[in-house]
A and B are shown apart, each in its own frame.
Chain A
Amino acid sequence: MRYDSPLAAVGNTPLVRLPRLSPSDDVRIWAKLEDRNPTGSIKDRPALHMIEQAEKDGRLTPGCTILEPTSGNTGISLAMAAKLKGYRIVCVMPENTSSERRELLAMWGAEIISSPAAGGSNTAVRVAKELSAEHPDWVMLYQYGNPDNAGAHYATTGPEILSDLPSITHFVAGLGTTGTLMGVGRYLREHKPDVKIVAAEPRYDDLVYGLRNLDEGFVPELYDEAVLTTRFSVGSQDAVTRTRELLQQEGIFAGVSTGAALHAAIGVARKAQAAGESADVAFVVADGGWKYLSTGIYTAPSTDAAVEALHGQLWA
């Protein structure tokens, strides 16, 4: 494959069958390797699309400052594109995210404003909204509410998956901004009305949820419950277990949120198997494991030790 520039090489990622983790020859699990994007995560798709659409609309012009709340990947994708296109970028990121993410953002020249660990991404969103109000000239692309986030997946990720796997029965992805599930889900539904769209939502430990207020919760503006078939909450234990299985049994080195998506994928696959149905379950490998190496989860002697290592961190 040949492209005119590094930014043009976003997308067109491989879809690989997982022969060992699939329950049978009739119930197959497929991994969409989104770590093969230029900055190493699925977020290159929405980041680039949001920037390009904002340029088209005239919201983003030369010399502008981009502002974004991010737990890492979207910020890294935006920072890379901003570097190449000559924008200044300010990222608001929870303080309890891995050091690799900070290094990567700094490497692309992003300025990082840390938001308190308590409240996690909810707090990062609130802080970014406050900064946006203080600096009306800054351009907040706002991945949680920007239709171009879901639009990127509707235009690219969805068509790629359907083209590679016309027999798809289930699509499984992590639930964050909800952009992947909304975009791919809508596209697949239009072409395969019976397809099941399954969300895997990370469930952190108490330290992360600690001070979160039930009356001031956060639901991304992009989220439309009607697109989903169902939604699973996946705890650190299951996410880490699956991340390690994916590495050891299939040789795929993925981030922890991918383990959560895989856990849900295996769950729906086994359900199909038990019902005597055949199934093609596609799930998203959102990023590689590189940014999580410092947690020690890949080499920990046991899953329990790995889970302990992850305690209190935003792993997805």
Chain B
Amino acid sequence: MAIEVRIPTILRTYTDGAKAVEGSGDTLAALFTDLESRHAGIQARLVEEGQLRRFVNVYLNDEDVRFLDGITTKLTDGDSITILPAVAGGMA
């Protein structure tokens, strides 16, 4: 099962500079574990004590997973995951 994962610049040291990688898993947590098997160290930057780190935002097909089921959000083939640092944005 292939899921595209877009990697922010700051984490590309774990992906040999790749902007996007493929992974698999039927939940977000499983996907991160799968990524860890090929990109050692990345999981700890994303997850802490079984939860998403505070300043990490993860989007499933552009929707924030914190409003879905967080780290246990179900994934299906063809989904797109985007990882981004939390920012101050908007028209402030």
A residues with a Cβ closer than 8 A to B are: 41-43, 69-74, 120-122, 124-125, 143-144, 174-178, 199, 201-204, 206, 209-220, 225, 228-235, 255, 257, 286-287, 316
Most A CB contacts (10 A, CB to CB) among B19, B54, B85, B92 go to B92
A229 to B74, CA, bound (A): 18
> What's the count of A-B pairs with C-beta under 8 Å?
124
Residues of A within 8 A of B50 (CB): none
Residues of B within 8 A of A217 (CB): 54-56, 85-87
- Would you list the 7 A-B pairs with minimal beta carbon distance, nearest first? A176-B90, A217-B55, A217-B86, A121-B88, A231-B64, A176-B92, A230-B67
From B54, B59, B87, A209 is in contact (CB under 8 Å) with B87
Residues of B within 8 A of A43 (CB): 91-92
Q: How many residues of B contact A (CB 8 A)?
A: 27
A174 & B91 in contact (Cβ 8 Å cutoff): yes
From B10, B56, B62, B89, A211 is in contact (CB under 8 Å) with B10
Give the shortest distance, in Å, between A24 (CB) and chain B (any CB).
23
Using A71-B92, A176-B92, A232-B64 as known contacts, say yes or no to A121 and B87 having CB atoms under 8 A apart.
yes
Residues of A within 8 A of B85 (CB): 209, 212-214, 217
A70 to B54, CA, bound (A): 23
A286 & B91 in contact (Cβ 8 Å cutoff): yes
Using A206-B9, A230-B64, A233-B57 as known contacts, say yes or no to A316 and B90 having CB atoms under 8 A apart.
yes
A72 to B90, CA, bound (A): 10
Instruction: With CB as the reference atom, state the residue of chain B lying closest to A213.
Output: B10
From A69, A209, A235, B9 is in contact (CB under 8 Å) with A209
Instruction: With CB as the reference atom, state the residue of chain A lying closest to B8.
Output: A209
B54 & A201 in contact (Cβ 8 Å cutoff): no
A175 to B54, CA, bound (A): 17
Whether, in the assembled complex, B22 has its beta carbon less than 8 Å from a beta carbon of chain A, the answer is no
Whether, in the assembled complex, B38 has its beta carbon less than 8 Å from a beta carbon of chain A, the answer is no
> What are the interface flags for B15-40 relative to A under an 8 Å C-beta threshold, 1 for contact and 0 otherwise?
00001000000000000000000000
A124 to B92, CA, bound (A): 11
User: Can you name 10 extra interface pairs (CB under 8 A) apart from A174-B91, A216-B55, A230-B64?
Assistant: A42-B91, A175-B89, A209-B10, A212-B8, A214-B8, A217-B86, A225-B67, A230-B63, A230-B67, A231-B63
Most B CB contacts (10 A, CB to CB) among A204, A233, A255, A316 go to A233
Residues of A within 8 A of B3 (CB): none
A203 to B54, CA, bound (A): 18
Instruction: With CB as the reference atom, state the residue of chain A lying closest to B64.
Output: A231
A287 & B91 in contact (Cβ 8 Å cutoff): yes
A214 & B9 in contact (Cβ 8 Å cutoff): no
B67 & A71 in contact (Cβ 8 Å cutoff): no
A214 & B63 in contact (Cβ 8 Å cutoff): no
A144 to B91, CA, bound (A): 12
Residues of B within 8 A of A211 (CB): 9-10
